[in-house]
Amino acid sequence: YFYMNELNRAEAKARILKEVEEKLHRSFGITFDDATPMQLYKAVALTVRDEVMERWTHGREERAEQKLKRLYYLSVEFLPGKMLVNHLLNLVEFDLYQEALSEVGVNLMELEAEEPEPGLGNGGLGRLASCFMESLATLQLPAMGCSIRYEYGLFRQQIVDGQQVEAPDNWLEDGFIWEVPDYDDEMEIHFGGHIIEDWSEGYLKVRHEDYNTVLALPYDVPVSGYDSDIALSMRLWSARSPRRINMEQFSRGDYIKASEEKELAEAISKVLYPDDNHLEGKELRLKQHYFFTSATIQYAVKDFKRRFPELPITRLADKIAIHINDTHPALAILELMRVLLDQEGLPWETAIAVCSKVFAYTNHTIMNEALETWSEDLFKVLLPRLYSIVQAINQDFCESLWKHYPGQFDRIAKMAIVSYGQIHMANLAVAMSHAVNGVSKLHTRILKQDLFADFYRIYPGRFHAITNGISYRRWSLKANPGLAHLITEAIGPGWLRDAAELEKLRPMAEDGAFLEKAAAIKKENKVRLAHYVEKTQGIVLNPDSIYDVQAKRLHEYKRQLLNALHILYLYQQIKANPEADFTPRTFLFAAKAAPGYYRAKLIISFICQVAELVHNDPDVKGRLKVVFLPNYNVSLAEVLIPAAEVSEQISTAGKEASGTSNMKFMLNGAITLGTLDGANVEMLDAVGEENIIIFGMTPEEVQQAYRFNSYRQGELYEENLALRRVLDMMVDGSLTPANPHRFSELYQALLFSDNGGMADPYFVLKDFDAYAAAQKKVEALYGRPKVWQKKSVLNIAASGVFSSDKTIREYNRKVWHLSPVESEE
Ligand code: 26M
């Protein structure tokens, strides 16, 4: 479509409109003029789906024909975002569709509003999984993403009276046109019951009896890649009861019981757990994990046998790789063991060897409260066969540890898979995988030196540092078309295939005309966001103010509170000297808090009250604005990130494993204001210290302060007057005069240790001065627009290293060893 002449273009557009019209007739029995926006969206999407389907079929056939090894990417979460426009961009047909539709008065971007967004994830981990799928499709690597078809995704967040209120996300309500159920691949999942060890044939046969069955029905959603000949599948398993409620039961009076059982079975895929970086050992959650991992393993083995009837099952690792996205799918390891032992009859050692060749694992967090463990009691009742397998693996493993660490009981207990009544999923994943990955250089170093240090000493070759990346086409071409066109105009379209070509923009940082165009695009994006905010919140923004954005899950370690306290500090400066010069600033927050995370919700309220305070004070004269944007999701990120000038990446050093929004902001020309944490460190390397603003404690300093218990919060309060004034505002009734104690919990948590926990464990107070000084630099720099714009362009130019294409190539070279699907055309 790139090189199409005018005549062909006209024909192509006419054909698109004809196809849309046909879909309206055939699928909805309606004409163009009578169609609702939803019907119109669906009709357009169906025509696009036809094309994606062709690539889907083609990819399947070629993969089978070429007998290629396939990756199963298991993740309890995916956050793919809206699909229609993304497919069109990947098919390189967006402009054509947009023009065709506009000729009949339809705005494609307005149609997109009708598309539901699948919110099947909490945050970074789920979005990363979707970025990886897009890159796998682009590189034509055979892969399938596997997860759960949650009927309700992550809750919709409303802010009512300055507080988070959760509403259900019924995303399937109006139907989801991109999914296709595959009834041939329905699997049976067995829960509960007991196992019988049968030695009657002279060898051990294990039978599982009296179990409850739940059916897993897969729904496949196509994933396209940029200018790719194939589409991959995201396979989402949905739970169904095997019980068909029949009239006989009805008349016998068993109807109620049968329908209860049905509800119970189908509850498994009902709702996504809204906890990010936090574990609650709930039975239903364990059921979810087993449900989708068992279904996937059974399918993977079935598919292997169907495609390679000539190969023995011991060759499995030649034809499949399984990647587990954090430990949540680690039950897949035990499930494959079960299948290899009980169904394929492999001897124990052979099964272990096959398994460890198949599996690889990525760790995404070192936050202690997120490390997954399950109580043995719960585990053995729900998954009796997997329990006996994990016991045996643990025994073997601990015996082998004894050889490395003889007599070191404490160390072995720490590394054990089963200990003190708990099953430690991270230890299982490390012990049974051939590759263990961190998500940034710093994070991997922490894994090696800290969390998995005892493992690293025994298996140094197993550990890899493969830094996260982003689907940079979605975050530029789709989210920021203005900038994408400017880049293509300057350096040609090659960067869309090879992000390293963004480096070619470097000289443009010296080109005044280019800088002005880039600045104009930023301004347009700021105006676009201002419209959105006015329409949805009724708040008027000043597009000439600095747009400073912190958008991510609400977590104490991410330190939204530091940002909010600094805003109070700025406010006090205005109050002290209302007539002094003050660079107008807009602070934007977007963050969902886990519904059960009381303190995170209190921080949201706090931010909302700070917003109220500054908006209602006439002395501020609109120079300071604070906006909390509700319901942060992929779609909101696509409006918010391109408008940002300052990217807040201010987590306590050592806590944010990588971060990925930091990369998206950088790609969109924001200047990062960040700590030496996660991938920020690599952003600093890529862009150079004069083009990023780094502040605060180093990860080593944080470590030291914990180790030597040397943090003196109280002294900071005593000695730092400015800080003390800000903190006192938390409790002196300035924010909520009717209820001055509203935020005293937050205040207390910063200053006083409570039952064993240290005060301010995330060093908000300690980093306050450094943060304020860094914000001062931001302001000074913004006062020199040319310098600012230059730095902005240098950030875009350096952001290519964070393409997930690069990340996937590295995973493939070091871990998966897949060959691309070759197209013969
Ligand atoms: C697991 C079991 C039970 C309850 C909750 C969970 C759980 C769910 C999501 C735990 C962690 C979850 O997400 C963690 C996460 O998103 N981590 C982020 O991963 C990104 C991608 O690697 C990194 O960039 C972020 O730094 C990291 O916080």
Query: One of 474, 558, 585, 806 is an active-site residue; which one?
Result: 558
The answer to whether 485 is a known catalytic residue is: no
* 3-class SS string, 192-261: CCEEEEECCCCCCEEEEECCEEEEEEEEEEEEECCCCCCEEEEEEEEEECCCCCCHHHHHHCCHHHHHHH
**Ligand 1 pocket check for 370: Cβ under 6 Å:** yes
pLDDT in tens, 401-410: 999 999 999 9
pLDDT in tens, 494-505: 999 999 999 999
Q: 247: pLDDT confidence band, cut at 50, 70 and 90? A: low
Letter for the amino acid at 579? E
Q: Answer yes or no: are the C-beta atoms of 648 and 632 closer than 8 Å.
A: no
Domain range list for the chain: 496-801
Residue 423 has pLDDT above 70, yes or no: yes
Name the DSSP class of 78: B
Q: Is 420 helix (H, G, I), strand (E, B) or coil?
A: coil
Q: 6: pLDDT confidence band, cut at 50, 70 and 90? A: confident
**How many angstroms is it from 630 CA to the middle of ligand 1?**
21
Query: One of 47, 373, 652, 660 is an active-site residue; which one?
Result: 660
User: How far apart are alpha carbons 738 and 746 in whole angstroms?
Assistant: 18
**Ligand 1 pocket check for 661: Cβ under 6 Å:** no
- Which of 278-292, 318-332, 619-633 is least confident? 278-292
ipTM: 0.94
User: How far apart are alpha carbons 231 and 223 in whole angstroms?
Assistant: 5
Q: Answer yes or no: are the C-beta atoms of 326 and 362 closer than 8 Å.
A: yes
Q: 1: pLDDT confidence band, cut at 50, 70 and 90? A: very low
Alpha helices, DSSP H only, in 149-282?
247-252, 255-266
> To test ligand 1's pocket by mutation, which of 73, 125, 661 has the most ligand atoms within 8 angstroms of CB?
125
Average pLDDT, the chain: 96
Determine how β-strand 163-167 pairs with β-strand 205-209. unpaired
Q: What are phi and psi of 724, to 5 degrees?
A: -60, -40
Q: State how far the alpha carbon of 802 is from the alpha carbons of 369, 612, 658, in Å.
A: 28, 38, 11
Question: Could you tell me the pTM of the whole model?
Answer: 0.97
> To test ligand 1's pocket by mutation, which of 132, 363, 365 has the most ligand atoms within 8 angstroms of CB?
365
Instruction: Indicate which residue's Cα is closest to atom 4 of ligand 1.
Output: 279
Q: 527: pLDDT confidence band, cut at 50, 70 and 90? A: very high
């319901």: which residue's tokens? 631
**Two tokens, residue 544:** 């000439």
Q: Answer yes or no: are the C-beta atoms of 417 and 424 closer than 8 Å.
A: yes
Average pLDDT of the residues in 567-574: 98
Query: One of 364, 473, 592, 790 is an active-site residue; which one?
Result: 364
Kindly give the number of the ligand 1 atom that is closest to the alpha carbon of 122.
9
**How many angstroms is it from 342 CA to the middle of ligand 1?**
33
**Ligand 1 pocket check for 660: Cβ under 6 Å:** yes
pLDDT in tens, 576-628: 999 999 999 999 999 999 999 999 999 999 999 999 999 999 999 999 999 99
Average pLDDT of the residues in 248-272: 82
DSSP lists the bridge partners of residue 585 as 546, 624
Total Cβ atoms within 10 A of residue 33: 7
HSE of 493 in the Cβ direction (CA atoms, 13 Å)? 6
Q: Is 810 helix (H, G, I), strand (E, B) or coil?
A: helix
**Ligand 1 pocket check for 277: Cβ under 6 Å:** yes
Q: Answer yes or no: are the C-beta atoms of 807 and 467 closer than 8 Å.
A: yes
Q: What are phi and psi of 470, to 5 degrees?
A: -130, 155
At residue 276, the pLDDT reads 80
């550990």: which residue's tokens? 463
The answer to whether 664 is a known catalytic residue is: yes
**How many angstroms is it from 123 CA to the middle of ligand 1?**
7
**Ligand 1 pocket check for 274: Cβ under 6 Å:** no
User: How far apart are alpha carbons 33 and 28 in whole angstroms?
Assistant: 13
pLDDT in tens, 387-401: 999 999 999 999 999
**Ligand 1 pocket check for 468: Cβ under 6 Å:** yes
**Ligand 1 pocket check for 366: Cβ under 6 Å:** no
pLDDT in tens, 56-93: 999 999 999 999 999 999 999 999 999 999 999 999 99
Q: Answer yes or no: are the C-beta atoms of 204 and 198 closer than 8 Å.
A: yes
At residue 258, the pLDDT reads 79
The answer to whether 553 is a known catalytic residue is: yes
Query: One of 664, 742, 766, 806 is an active-site residue; which one?
Result: 664
High-pLDDT (> 90) share of the chain, % = 93
Kindly give the number of the ligand 1 atom that is closest to the alpha carbon of 125.
16
At residue 245, the pLDDT reads 54
């002449």: which residue's tokens? 5
At residue 269, the pLDDT reads 98
**Ligand 1 pocket check for 563: Cβ under 6 Å:** no
pLDDT in tens, 124-162: 999 999 999 999 999 999 999 999 999 999 999 999 999
**Ligand 1 pocket check for 123: Cβ under 6 Å:** yes
**Ligand 1 pocket check for 285: Cβ under 6 Å:** yes
**How many angstroms is it from 125 CA to the middle of ligand 1?**
5
CATH class of residue range 496-801: alpha beta
Determine how β-strand 163-167 pairs with β-strand 156-160. antiparallel
**What DSSP line would sit under 737-795, residue for residue?**
TT-TTTTHHHHHHHH--BTTBPSSTT-HHHHHHHHHHHHHHHHHHHTSHHHHHHHHHHH
**Ligand 1 pocket check for 372: Cβ under 6 Å:** yes
Cβ-in-10-Å burial (0-12, 13-18, 19+) of 67 comes to exposed
At residue 146, the pLDDT reads 98
From 548, 784, 512, 786, select the one nearest 665 (Cα to Cα). Answer: 548
> To test ligand 1's pocket by mutation, which of 364, 366, 651 has the most ligand atoms within 8 angstroms of CB?
364
The answer to whether 25 is a known catalytic residue is: no
Query: One of 328, 553, 592, 623 is an active-site residue; which one?
Result: 553
Q: Answer yes or no: are the C-beta atoms of 476 and 771 closer than 8 Å.
A: no
